[in-house]
C-alpha cells in the first residue's frame, strides 16, 4: 500500500459470488458505510494538512516541526496494533462511533487552543500524539468493516472506489485546508469537528442497522473460552499469520521503502516551499493537483484491476514513482513540481486497489483487524522518519541532497518488487481467491483464507 502524502460485519444481505454483476451502491448499507468512512477521512485530512504548517508557523523550525510530525506517526502506528485487536473483539460500528466522537472532542480542543493563542511546541506535540492515537485505535474498525459489506469478487473495485474517494478528498482538502488556514488554524479544527460529527451520526446509523448481525458473527457465549487470550497474544497471532504468508510478507518491505522514499520527498517539497515564503493556499494547490491526478487514476482503476495482473500494476506504479522522485531533484518552479508529482502518482490508486483488494480477500474475517493493523504497522513502519528526513535533511543537506536520498529509497523499493517472485505472480482480480488459497496450502496454514467466517 503506497500512501501519497496528502495510506466487517454484514450490515444487510451479503451478496454471494454467484450474484453478477455486483453494483456497489446497491449493496445493503454500503452507501452509509462509505459516507461514514469518507467523513472521517476528510476530517483527518484537514488536520493532517494543517498541523505541519501550524507547527512550522509556531516554531519557525523545520526540525521541530519534523519532531511533532514524527511523534504523531509513531503514536499512530503503535496504537494501530491495539486497534486491530479492538476491531476483532468488539462491534466495529460501535468503535467507529466512539472514534468519531473522540475526533469531535480533539478537534474542538484544537480550535480553542489555537483561538486563544495557546499553541506551543509542547502543546502541538501532545495534540498531534492524541490525534495519532485516535486514528490508530479506531480507524481500523471502519476499514475492516468493508469485508463484510462487499463480496470478494468486487473487493478490488471497492478498493478502487476508496481510492477515488481519497483522491477527491485530497483534491478538495488541499485548497479547502489552505483557505481555512489562511483565516486561522482554529477554523480548520472547527470545520473538522463538524465533519467528525457527520461520521459519528452515520456510524450510529450503521450500529442501529447492524446490531443483530454484529452479534451473529461472534462466537456463541457458550463457545467462548473463559480464559480469553491476552491482547498481546492476539497481536502476536495476527503478526505470525501475516509473516507466514509468502505472498504478503515480501510486499511489506517494498511498501515500507516506497512509502518512506516518496512521502519524504513530498514532505521535503512542502517544507521547502513554506520556508521559501509560499502561502498555504499555494501549498494546498499542489496537494490538490496530486489529488486530481489520483482521482483520474482512481477513475480508471476499476478498468485496470479486473483486466491487468496485479503484479504489472504494482511494478509499473513503483517505477513511475521512482522516476518522479528523481525528477523532483531537478525541478524548482511550482508548475513543474505539480507536473512531476502528478505524473508520479497516476498509477498509485490502481496499485493500492490491487494490493489492498488482494489483502482483504486473502485474510480470514476473524483475523482481519489484527492482520490489517500488522500490515499497516510494518509497511508504514519507517513513516516516522518521513518528517525527520525532510526537516533535518533540509537543515543539513539542503533540498537537493534530501530529495536525492528519497529517490534512492524509491529505487530500492522498485528493485525489490522486480525481484519478488510472489509479487510477480499476482493475477487479476478474478484470480485472487484461488491465488490466496494456493499460498495458504504452500505455507501449510490450516484455516480459511478466501474471505468469510470460518
State the pLDDT at residue 198: 95
State the pLDDT at residue 127: 93
The number of beta carbons lying within 10 Å of the beta carbon of residue 207 is 18
353 found inside a domain: yes
SS3 string of 237-289?
HHHHHHHHCHHHHHHHHHHHHHHHHHHHHHHHHHHHHHHCCCCHHHHHHHHHH
What residues contact residue 292 under an 8 Å CB cut-off, 6+ apart? 167, 171, 342
* Nearest CA-CA partner of 429 in 166, 150, 37: 150
220 found inside a domain: no
Q: What are residue 249's phi and psi, to 5 degrees?
A: -70, -35
Q: What are residue 192's phi and psi, to 5 degrees?
A: -65, -35
State the pLDDT at residue 306: 81
* Nearest CA-CA partner of 39 in 104, 132, 133: 104
57 found inside a domain: yes
Q: How far apart are CA 451 and CA 453, in angstroms?
A: 7
Instruction: Give 238-265 pLDDT, tens digit per residue.
Output: 888 888 888 787 788 888 888 888 889 9
pTM of the entire structure? 0.64
Q: How far apart are CA 445 and CA 436, in angstroms?
A: 11
State the pLDDT at residue 98: 94
Instruction: Give 49-101 pLDDT, tens digit per residue.
Output: 888 889 888 888 878 888 888 888 889 888 888 888 888 888 888 899 999 99
Integer CA distances (angstroms), 428 to 43, 332, 433, 451, in order: 34, 39, 10, 17
391 found inside a domain: yes
**Interhelix angle 62-89/30-59, nearest 10 degrees:** 150
6 found inside a domain: no
What residues contact residue 450 under an 8 Å CB cut-off, 6+ apart? 152, 361, 362, 433, 436, 437
Q: What are residue 446's phi and psi, to 5 degrees?
A: -95, 70
- CATH classification at residue 87: 1.20.1250.20
What residues contact residue 23 under an 8 Å CB cut-off, 6+ apart? none
State the pLDDT at residue 92: 84
How many domains, in total, are found in the chain? Answer: 1
Contact 391, 66 (CB under 8 A): yes
Contact 152, 431 (CB under 8 A): no
State the pLDDT at residue 346: 87
**Interhelix angle 231-244/368-379, nearest 10 degrees:** 70
Q: Note down the domain range covering 150.
A: 34-208+234-443
* Nearest CA-CA partner of 389 in 263, 291, 287: 263
State the pLDDT at residue 171: 67
Q: How far apart are CA 83 and CA 75, in angstroms?
A: 12
State the pLDDT at residue 393: 87
81 found inside a domain: yes
12 found inside a domain: no
State the pLDDT at residue 298: 78
Regions of the chain with pLDDT less than 50: 4-20, 211-226, 441-454
261 found inside a domain: yes
State the pLDDT at residue 452: 35
What burial class does residue 115 get, using C-beta atoms within 10 Å of its C-beta: 0-12 exposed, 13-18 middle, 19+ buried? middle
Contact 381, 256 (CB under 8 A): yes
Overall residue count recorded for the chain in this entry: 454
- The DSSP element (H or E) to which 111 belongs, if any, is helix 92-115
State the pLDDT at residue 39: 92
Question: Would you state the cell numbers that stand for residue 157, as one nine-digit string?
Answer: 473495485
Amino acid at each position: 500500500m503506497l500512501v501519497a502524502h496528502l495510506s466487517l460485519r454484514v450490515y444487510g444481505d451479503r451478496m454471494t459470488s454467484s450474484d453478477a454483476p455486483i453494483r456497489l451502491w446497491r449493496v445493503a448499507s454500503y452507501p452509509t458505510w462509505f459516507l461514514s468512512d469518507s467523513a472521517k477521512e476528510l476530517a483527518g485530512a484537514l488536520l493532517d494538512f494543517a498541523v505541519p504548517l501550524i507547527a512550522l508557523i509556531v516554531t519557525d523550525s523545520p526540525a521541530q516541526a519534523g519532531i511533532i510530525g514524527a511523534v504523531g506517526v509513531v503514536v499512530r502506528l503503535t496504537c494501530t496494533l491495539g486497534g486491530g485487536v479492538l476491531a476483532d473483539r468488539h462491534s466495529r460500528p460501535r468503535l467507529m462511533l466512539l472514534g468519531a466522537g473522540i475526533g469531535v472532542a480533539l478537534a474542538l480542543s484544537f480550535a480553542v487552543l489555537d483561538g486563544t493563542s495557546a499553541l506551543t511546541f509542547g502543546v502541538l506535540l501532545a495534540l498531534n500524539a492524541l490525534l495519532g492515537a485516535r486514528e490508530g485505535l479506531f480507524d481500523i474498525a471502519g476499514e475492516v468493516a468493508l469485508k463484510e459489506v462487499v463480496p470478494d469478487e468486487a473487493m478490488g473495485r471497492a478498493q478502487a472506489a476508496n481510492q477515488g474517494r481519497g483522491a477527491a478528498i485530497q483534491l478538495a482538502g488541499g485548497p479547502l485546508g489552505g483557505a481555512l488556514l489562511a483565516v486561522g488554524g482554529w477554523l480548520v479544527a472547527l470545520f473538522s469537528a463538524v465533519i467528525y460529527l457527520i461520521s459519528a451520526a452515520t456510524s450510529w446509523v450503521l450500529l442501529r442497522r447492524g446490531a443483530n448481525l454484529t452479534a451473529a458473527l461472534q462466537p456463541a457465549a457458550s463457545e467462548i473460552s473463559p480464559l480469553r487470550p491476552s491482547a498481546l497474544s492476539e497481536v502476536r497471532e495476527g503478526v505470525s499469520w501475516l509473516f507466514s504468508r509468502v505472498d504478503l510478507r515480501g510486499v511489506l518491505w517494498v511498501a515500507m521503502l516506497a512509502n518512506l522514499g516518496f512521502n519524504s520527498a513530498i514532505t521535503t517539497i512542502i517544507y521547502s516551499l513554506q520556508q521559501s515564503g509560499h502561502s498555504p493556499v499555494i501549498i494546498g494547490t499542489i496537494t490538490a493537483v496530486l489529488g486530481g491526478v489520483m482521482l483520474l487514476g482512481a477513475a480508471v482503476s476499476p478498468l485496470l484491476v479486473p483486466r491487468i495482473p496485479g503484479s504489472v500494476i504494482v511494478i509499473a506504479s513503483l517505477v513511475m514513482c521512482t522516476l518522479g522522485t528523481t525528477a523532483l531533484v531537478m525541478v524548482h518552479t511550482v508548475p513543474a513540481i505539480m507536473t512531476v508529482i502528478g505524473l508520479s502518482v497516476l498509477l498509485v490508486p490502481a496499485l493500492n486497489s490491487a494490493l489492498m483488494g488482494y489483502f482483504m480477500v486473502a485474510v480470514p474475517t476473524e483475523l482481519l483487524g489484527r492482520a490489517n493493523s500488522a500490515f499497516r504497522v510494518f509497511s508504514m513502519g519507517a513513516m516516522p522518519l518521513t518528517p525527520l528526513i525532510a526537516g533535518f535533511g533540509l537543515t543539513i543537506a539542503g533540498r537537493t541532497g534530501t530529495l536525492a536520498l528519497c529517490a534512492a529509497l524509491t529505487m530500492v523499493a522498485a528493485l525489490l518488487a522486480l525481484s519478488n517472485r510472489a509479487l510477480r505472480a499476482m493475477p487479476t482480480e478474478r484470480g485472487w481467491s484461488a491465488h490466496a488459497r494456493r499460498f495458504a496450502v504452500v505455507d501449510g496454514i490450516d484455516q480459511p483464507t478466501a474471505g468469510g467466517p470460518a
